Amino acid sequence: MSGRRAWFSGRARSEGLGWLAIARLGLVQAALGAIVVLTNSTLNRVMVVELGLAAVIPGLLVGLHYGVQITRPLWGHRSDAGASRTRFILAGLALLAAAGTLASATTFLFERDMRLGLLVAVIAYGLIGIGIGASGTSLLALIATRTAPGRRASAATITWMMMIFGIIVTSIVTGAALDPYSHARLVIITALTGAVVFAVACLALVGIERGTAPLTDGKPEQPAIAFRDSLRDVWQDREARLFTLFIFLSMLAYSTQDLILEPFAGLLFAMTPGQTTTLSGTQHAGVFLGMAAVGIGGWLAGRRAPALARVFIVAGCLGSAGALALLVMAAAAAPHWPLEGTVFALGLANGLFAVAAIGTMMGLAADGRTQNAGLRMGVWGAAQAIAFGLGGLTGSLVVDLGRRFTASDREAFMIVFALEATLFLASSLVALRLGRRKPSPMATLSQHPLAAE
């Protein structure tokens, strides 16, 4: 019965966070996703379609906020050194909410003064990057160090699924609220979203950090080490280096379409801002189901199939490449193509590789010294951020150059989708080399308190 009680209990225990506490941390992850989807998807589309700006401008702005996140290892190291993670989580989230509202307000400035609009947008997106880096990395470090080894992969699955759920809900609700579109309506919706999710995060975090102690996974306590020494310790781990390369390639492939999907739907399929925001929600619904499939599969077959994580990662990368090939065909046939179904399939494949990679990440974070779990999370978070920044810029730049040299929106989008498919194929080759020396951390998905009874 103890395992069954543990499922419902969020109280502090010697074995780490209970399932209810993990779900509460998932609410914080959902709060992050709810704000980011407005700045990265909806506002990007408004800049390109409604304001008529070159796609490279929002691409550079989003690239800036990802570039700022190269500081993630420093936030992780601060967590390893014993700083209050809750403080960083809430401060980062508050900054993110305020900066997101400021970014949406630049829509007024761009219409009146292009240079002033760019200046304020640069400031806003820089602050967005700082907020995400401080909040997201500290949250990951909290989950990794306060969750028992047998629950880490499951905890990652739960928290990321809740993040996707938050993105879906935000996309659907704001998509409906944005029609008919106006700049003022966008600012109000962004501000209200930030206020609501910050309040939810505050309630979700009450008592969690104080109620649990860091788990050592059986390793002796060690004094905190310098940032440079801790970073060297991570980089000497072959599996950590290989996983960093995979994160970079796969996230580069994913993010290349992240900023162009809504403009693609608006330009070639004549969708309204509300419709394209809902389309983003459709994609994330596919991601959510893909994550759920991996979580259930890992729980049921993890012990019998220790390489299951790699199977899901490779299948997800190949599936993503196939879905992007369909988007190439969609661009050629637009507007006569079932775009929603294709975007849903892309999300499903993205979810397969993403949650399997997250499970692997949680296990690898615990492989080194306990004191640098946060820095490991920061290194992989920085690799993802750099990839997202380059991907957003690359996708936008390729579209702009394609439109200039081919004089065709259709052909420009076909080129960028084909490029993404190639990157996903390269990611699958790297993924095949992961976890060959030891069982995958996804096997721990089967170490569920209910499964032990």
Q: Give the per-residue SS3 of 408-420.
A: CHHHHHHHHHHHH
Please check the confidence at residue 8 and state whether its pLDDT lies above 80.
no
pLDDT at residue 12, rounded to an integer:
44
Residue 128 belongs to a domain: yes
Pair 433, 245: CB distance under 8 Å: no
Alpha-carbon 8 to chain mean position: 27
The H helix count followed by the E strand count for the chain is 18, 0
Residue 2 belongs to a domain: no
Beta-carbon neighbour count of residue 210 at 10 Å? 10
Residue 152 CA to residue 361 CA, distance in Å, equals 10
Residue 1 belongs to a domain: no
| Angle formed at CA 317 by CA 166 and CA 305, multiple of 5 degrees | 90
Which pLDDT band, with edges at 50, 70 and 90, does 280 fall under? confident
- Read off the pLDDT of each residue in 283-287 and give the average, rounded to a whole number: 87
More confident site: 127 or 389: 127
Pair 400, 56: CB distance under 8 Å: yes
Residue 6 belongs to a domain: no
Residue 352 belongs to a domain: yes
Residue 113 structural domain: 13-209+234-446
pLDDT at residue 9, rounded to an integer:
41
Q: Take residue 189 and report the two structure tokens written for it.
A: 């919706």
Pair 132, 98: CB distance under 8 Å: no
Cβ contacts of 233 within 8 Å, gap of 6 or more: 225, 368, 369, 372
- Read off the pLDDT of each residue in 316-331 and give the average, rounded to a whole number: 95
Secondary structure, 3-state, 242-289: HHHHHHHHHHHHHHHHHCCHHHHHHHHCCCCHHHHHHHHHHHHHHHHH
Single pTM value for the model? 0.76
Count of domains for the chain: 1
Residue 2's Cβ-side half-sphere holds a number of Cα atoms within 13 Å equal to 3
Q: Where do the H-state alpha helices sit in 273-372?
A: 273-301, 308-333, 339-365
Residue 451 belongs to a domain: no
Residue 130 belongs to a domain: yes
Per-residue pLDDT tens over the stretch 424-445: 999 999 988 876 654 444 444 4
Residue owning tokens 């074995």: 15
Residue 89 CA to residue 420 CA, distance in Å, equals 33
CATH number at residue 136: 1.20.1250.20
Per-residue pLDDT tens over the stretch 207-252: 888 767 666 555 555 556 777 777 777 777 788 888 999 999 999 9
Residue 288 CA to residue 168 CA, distance in Å, equals 9
Please check the confidence at residue 281 and state whether its pLDDT lies above 50.
yes
pLDDT averaged over the chain? Answer: 82
Q: Which amino acid is at 319?
A: G
Residue 37 CA to residue 42 CA, distance in Å, equals 7
Pair 355, 156: CB distance under 8 Å: yes
pLDDT at residue 341, rounded to an integer:
93
Residue 31 CA to residue 101 CA, distance in Å, equals 15
Q: Which amino acid is at 200?
A: V
pLDDT at residue 248, rounded to an integer:
94
Residue 228 belongs to a domain: no
pLDDT at residue 5, rounded to an integer:
43
